[in-house]
């Protein structure tokens, strides 16, 4: 399977065989990865951690939005809803009749969007536990008639071409072992005139002005990859090139790192409640390690290494 890597990521290069190519002046490695193994790990990661996340933090498994400069004081859930609403405004999404939520978690945004737009909504995830819980939640909120959830791979979606008028992906791109194939699939299932929006973890740009990632930055990223089951992340300019190559029109990108970074400090605070600690011990080591490593993300934002990137485009 091919992937797109920043040419500075030598650690990753040693893990996966690859060859170098150059697109519009940006260097890429086309890379072979063991994606089924990764898919199993991601499924297991979410199978074991989703219950606890829902119990402590609710149905949305994504950042919150704290104003453009990150200075609004909001409760965590409101900030998560605000992120969805701000994304809709940013991507100018006003009407939706049939959407797919790629990497849907337990259906937080899928159900929110289905209700808001009175739309048909399909959510896909690698985790059977999440798909079941999302289906159950749809019944609880009486949206089972127009929503469906299934275990499926974003890199090979079980949908015909030109099927959805909105393809929504909130914090799943960072898990994809092949970022180009991921965008190509999103493009394929989108109807002409439909909108694709992707909000995803990125690393800082590595253009000649910003410079290559340092060894220390690469190590920091490696820790994040290991703990959160990510193959690698890329920079926002690299996503922009991929979107152009797929054929998306009216492409927009933005960096909302400042707006979302406060989220992690609030998650860290709540992770120390008795309820969270008890739940962590029941969920197993991988979830405990994820919680112990929450500081990795807040430090990543502080030093400008981790970026919250947005891409939207039309077919």
Q: Return residues touching ligand SAM (CB under 6 A).
A: 42, 46, 60-62, 103-105, 108-109, 124-127, 130, 153-155, 170-172, 175-176
CB-nearer residue toward ligand SAM: 123 or 313: 123
Minimum CB distance to ligand SAM, residue 216 (Å): 26
Integer Rg of the chain from CA: 18
Closest CB to ligand SAM among residues 105, 262: 105
Q: What token pair was written down for 36?
A: 């089924």
Residue 126 or 190: which CB sits closer to ligand SAM? 126
Quote the least distance from Cβ 198 to ligand SAM, whole Å. 11
Helix (H, G, I), strand (E, B) or coil at 68: coil
Nearer residue to ligand SAM within complex by CB, 126 or 224: 126
CB of 141 to ligand SAM, least distance (A): 15
Strand partners, 203: 306
Sequence-distant contacts of 217-223: CB under 8 A, at least 24 apart: 217/303, 217/305, 218/8, 218/9, 218/10, 218/11, 219/11, 220/296, 220/299, 220/300, 220/303, 220/305, 221/9, 221/300, 221/305, 222/11, 223/293, 223/296
Q: Rounded to whole angstroms, how far apart are CA atoms 163 and 141?
A: 25
**Shortest Å distance, C-beta 178 to ligand SAM:** 9
Q: In the complex with ligand SAM, which residue's Cβ is closer, 28 or 182?
A: 182
Instruction: Kindly state the smallest distance separating residue 282's Cβ from ligand SAM, in Å.
Output: 20
């Amino acid at each position: 399977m091919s992937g797109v890597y920043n040419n500075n990521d030598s650690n990753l290069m040693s893990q996966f065989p690859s060859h170098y190519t150059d697109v519009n002046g940006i260097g890429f490695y086309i890379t072979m990865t063991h994606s089924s193994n990764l898919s199993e790990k991601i499924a297991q990661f979410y199978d074991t951690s989703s219950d606890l996340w829902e119990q402590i933090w609710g149905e949305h498994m994504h950042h919150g939005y704290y104003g453009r400069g990150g200075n609004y004081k909001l409760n965590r859930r409101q900030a998560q809803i605000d992120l969805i609403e701000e994304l809709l405004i940013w991507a100018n999404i006003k009407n939706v009749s049939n959407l797919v939520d790629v990497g849907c978690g337990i259906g937080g945004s899928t159900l929110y969007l289905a209700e808001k737009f009175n739309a048909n909504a399909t959510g896909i995830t690698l985790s059977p536990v999440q798909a079941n819980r999302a289906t159950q939640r749809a019944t609880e909120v009486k949206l089972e008639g127009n929503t469906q959830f299934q275990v499926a791979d974003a890199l090979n979606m079980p949908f015909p071409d030109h099927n959805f008028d909105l393809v929504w992906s909130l914090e799943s791109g960072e898990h994809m072992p092949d970022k180009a194939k991921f965008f190509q699939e999103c493009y394929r299932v989108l109807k002409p005139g439909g909108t694709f929006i992707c909000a995803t973890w990125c690393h800082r740009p590595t253009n000649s002005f910003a410079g290559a990632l340092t060894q220390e930055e690469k190590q920091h990223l490696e820790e994040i990859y290991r703990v959160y089951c990510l193959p690698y992340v890329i920079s926002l300019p690299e996503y922009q090139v991929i979107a152009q190559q797929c054929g998306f029109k009216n492409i927009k990108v933005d960096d909302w790192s400042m707006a979302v970074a406060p989220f992690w400090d609030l998650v860290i605070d709540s992770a120390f409640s008795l309820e969270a600690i008890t739940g962590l011990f029941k969920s197993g080591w991988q979830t405990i390690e994820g919680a112990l490593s929450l500081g990795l993300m807040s430090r990543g934002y502080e030093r400008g290494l981790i970026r919250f990137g947005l891409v939207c485009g039309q077919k």
